[in-house]
Amino acid sequence: MDIFKYFNQESVWLDIKVGSKTEAIDEMCGFAARALGLEKALLLEVVVERENLGSTSVGGGVAIPHGKTDLVDEVFLFLARTAPGWELTDCDSPDGRPVRLLALLLIPDKPDQDHLRALAALGRLWRTPQNINLMLEAKDAKSFLETLSIIPGLQAPAQ
């Protein structure tokens, strides 16, 4: 699985300073809207609607807020890491751990299996505490991506 087909260095946002899950989703939707040239309110609406069905925190300090929308025609992935000391404690994580790594997944509102492939790649990405720690320790977006490229089962970005 080539997880890099869903995002690039400009899709990685490190050391965001947000105090809650709601703020994190709001900021990430703004980041995605600017990157894609879309209206933030429309992205926020679909992501919050999905989040209201149940927490998208998967444990291990990770959450995957996502939503289906006709605003995109392919899967887009935006990765964020909160700044040290800005752990999100209101994400209803199954293991009770605060969240520091987030993946905003925007999914086309059409029948397709690509979003399942993206979710599977994220599962491999965050399978071990060692992988999570490597991402938490990355100094910048470039080193964050380099960290991803050494995780087994993910392909490295083209040089």
- Active site (catalytic) residues: 66
Crossing angle of the two packed helices 40-51 and 21-36, in degrees rounded to 10:
140
In 3D, which of 147, 37, 150 has the Cα closest to residue 81? 147
Crossing angle of the two packed helices 141-149 and 129-137, in degrees rounded to 10:
150
Cα–Cα distance for residue pair 100/62, rounded to 1 Å:
6
Burial class (CB in 10 A: 0-12, 13-18, 19+), 135: buried
Compute how many other C-beta atoms are within 10 angstroms of the C-beta atom of residue 96.
Answer: 10
CB 55 within 8 A of CB 92: yes
Assign residue 3 a region (left: φ > 0; alpha: ψ between -120 and 50; beta: otherwise).
alpha
